[in-house]
């Protein structure tokens, strides 16, 4: 063999050895600190590229339980999508620091304005704290079309802080969500999601800042949460089933809401919803189901129990005649059938005169509504509370105040 060929083989062999060594090291790596992938922290320079590199490394790792680590620093992130599936059965996203959204809507130019941090198609995802996710939404609120309809260039859509889309067997825990531009956490097209020990905060007048919204998802558990926002603490959308909500403190906000459903006349399928051990303070609504007149389908097997109201405007409310017109809605022959709904052991005070309002459709009446052990009094001294029922059929048992008005 000639000398030149010999050294060429040695050189190529060394490159192969280095490549194999690097690949093996990457495959065996278990923790992925975003700083090792170029994140500079400080909260002034966009670190989204470094986060995406760290995610891709963790997601393609062959080790069990790879863990992306966000250290105790401030990190500015432009909109980003963390995509799956990942190689490992489980993957951790541990946040010890603070994630900051851009403080200007201009950062979303030519990008999807509906999301900030999205996780798409990931199974076994564990997002855990004790870090903070700050949506810095004030600039979006100030140009909201809902609150500023005459503002030229107002926004009808704003970013959701965290989206889980098409995720399975995943969880969010010990995270402090703050001031999202719109919804704080969105669960969509997902199955087997647990959310626990979270704190979600936004000003009472911040528009459309739902705490947690669930849509087209199944087997979702929300427990041990403190939520105070400018919209629903928890809202449940269409094609959703097997939802458990418990040990939640809600307020300010619009309460715990199923709906609105059937807005475009679509066929609604919502069932097996269980809400218990919830404390609502100063909210506009308490336990609510809201469906559009033009909707079809059903809401069934719903339980609200062991709930306390503290000066809530509409403690118990079903509105089956919702429309987008001012004044009374016109009677229609369509409607979402609401049936097998239980209100059990609900107590507290109402800030309005009507503490229980069951406004059901004449065409598709509410059926199998069960009231048991309800005691709601006025939050105002010397004032009584009443109930109002329209086309609501069911049974009442135990002590009920205000007096029940169900039809048999």
For 283-303, the pLDDT digits (tens) are: 999 999 999 999 999 999 999
Q: Are residues 163 and 237 in the same domain?
A: no
Q: Has residue 8 been placed in a domain?
A: no
Q: Are residues 169 and 269 in the same domain?
A: no
> How many domains would you assign to the chain?
2
pLDDT along the chain (408 residues), means of 10: 39 35 58 98 97 98 97 98 98 99 89 95 98 97 90 90 99 99 98 99 97 99 99 98 99 98 95 99 99 96 99 98 77 92 99 98 96 98 96 98 95
Q: Are residues 279 and 379 in the same domain?
A: yes
The residues facing 271 across adjacent strands are 241, 300
* 291 closest CA partner among 246, 242, 258: 258
Residue 254 known to be catalytic: yes
Q: Which two structure tokens, joined as six digits, stand for 31?
A: 């923790």
Taking the C-alpha atoms of residue 129 and residue 371, their distance in angstroms, rounded to an integer, is 40
Backbone angles phi, psi at 272, to 5 degrees: 60, 65
Q: Of 154, 174, 194, which closes a domain?
A: 174
CA angle 354, 359, 364 (to 5 degrees): 165
Q: Are residues 170 and 236 in the same domain?
A: no
Q: Are residues 257 and 343 in the same domain?
A: yes
Q: Which residues contact 105 (CB under 8 A, 6 or more apart)?
A: 113, 139, 140, 143, 155, 158
Q: Are residues 149 and 238 in the same domain?
A: no
Residue pair 370/342 in contact by the 8 Å Cβ criterion = yes
The single residue listed with the structure tokens 């911040």 is: 206
Q: Of 106, 140, 174, which closes a domain?
A: 174
Q: Which of 47, 210, 213, 254 is catalytic?
A: 254
CATH number at residue 34: 2.160.20.10
Backbone angles phi, psi at 84, to 5 degrees: -120, -170
Strands 176-178 and 191-201: parallel
For residue 328, the model assigns a pLDDT of 72
Q: Has residue 139 been placed in a domain?
A: yes
**Domain enclosing residue 286, as ranges:** 232-324+331-408
Q: Which of 231, 232, 238, 319 is catalytic?
A: 231
How many angstroms separate the Cα of 14 from the Cα of each of 1, 7, 18, 127?
Answer: 19, 10, 6, 40
For residue 146, the model assigns a pLDDT of 84
Residue pair 57/26 in contact by the 8 Å Cβ criterion = yes
With 0-12 / 13-18 / 19 or more C-beta atoms within 10 angstroms meaning exposed / middle / buried, residue 133 is buried
Residue 176 known to be catalytic: no
**What would the pLDDT profile of 323-380 be if each residue is shown by its tens digit?**
877 777 777 889 999 999 999 999 999 999 999 999 999 999 999 999 999 999 999 9
Q: Are residues 253 and 360 in the same domain?
A: yes
Q: Has residue 9 been placed in a domain?
A: no
Q: Are residues 255 and 369 in the same domain?
A: yes
Taking the C-alpha atoms of residue 116 and residue 190, their distance in angstroms, rounded to an integer, is 18
Q: Of 124, 155, 174, which closes a domain?
A: 174
Strands 354-359 and 386-390: parallel
């Amino acid at each position: 063999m000639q000398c030149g060929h010999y050294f060429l083989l040695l050189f190529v062999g060394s490159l192969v050895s280095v490549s194999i060594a690097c690949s093996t090291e990457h495959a065996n790596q278990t923790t992925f600190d975003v700083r090792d992938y170029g994140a500079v922290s400080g909260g002034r320079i966009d670190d989204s590229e470094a986060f995406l590199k760290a995610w891709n490394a963790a997601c393609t790792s062959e080790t069990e339980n790879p863990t992306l680590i966000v250290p105790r620093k401030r990190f500015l992130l432009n909109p980003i999508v963390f995509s799956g599936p990942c190689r490992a059965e489980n993957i951790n996203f541990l946040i010890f620091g603070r994630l900051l959204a851009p403080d200007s809507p201009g950062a979303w130019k030519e990008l999807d304005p509906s999301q900030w941090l999205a996780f798409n198609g990931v199974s076994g995802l564990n997002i855990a704290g004790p870090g903070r996710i700050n949506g810095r939404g004030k600039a979006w609120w100030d140009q909201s079309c809902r609150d500023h309809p005459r503002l030229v260039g107002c926004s009808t859509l704003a970013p959701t802080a965290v989206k889980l889309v098409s995720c399975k067997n995943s969880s969010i825990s010990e995270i402090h969500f703050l001031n999202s531009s719109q919804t704080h956490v969105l669960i969509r097209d997902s199955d087997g999601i647990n959310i626990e020990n979270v704190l979600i905060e936004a000003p009472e007048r911040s528009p459309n800042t739902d705490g947690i919204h669930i849509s087209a998802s199944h087997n979702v558990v929300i427990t041990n949460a403190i939520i105070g926002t400018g919209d629903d603490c928890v809202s449940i959308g269409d094609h959703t089933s097997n939802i458990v909500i418990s040990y939640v403190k809600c307020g300010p906000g619009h309460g715990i809401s199923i709906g609105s459903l059937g807005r475009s006349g679509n066929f609604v399928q919502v069932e097996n919803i269980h809400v218990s051990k919830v404390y609502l303070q100063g909210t506009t609504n308490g336990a609510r189901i809201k469906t559009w007149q033009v909707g079809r389908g059903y809401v069934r097997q719903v339980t609200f129990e062991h709930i306390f109201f503290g000066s809530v405007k509409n403690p118990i409310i079903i509105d089956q005649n919702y429309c987008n017109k001012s004044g009374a809605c016109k009677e229609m022959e369509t409607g979402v059938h609401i049936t097998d709904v239980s209100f059990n052991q609900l107590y507290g005070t109402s800030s309005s005169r009507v503490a229980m309002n069951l406004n059901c459709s004449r065409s598709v009446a509410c059926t199998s509504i069960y009231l048991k052990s309800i005691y709601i009094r006025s939050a105002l001294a010397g004032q009584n509370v009443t109930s109002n029922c329209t086309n609501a059929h069911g049974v009442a048992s135990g002590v009920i105040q205000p007096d029940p008005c169900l039809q048999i």
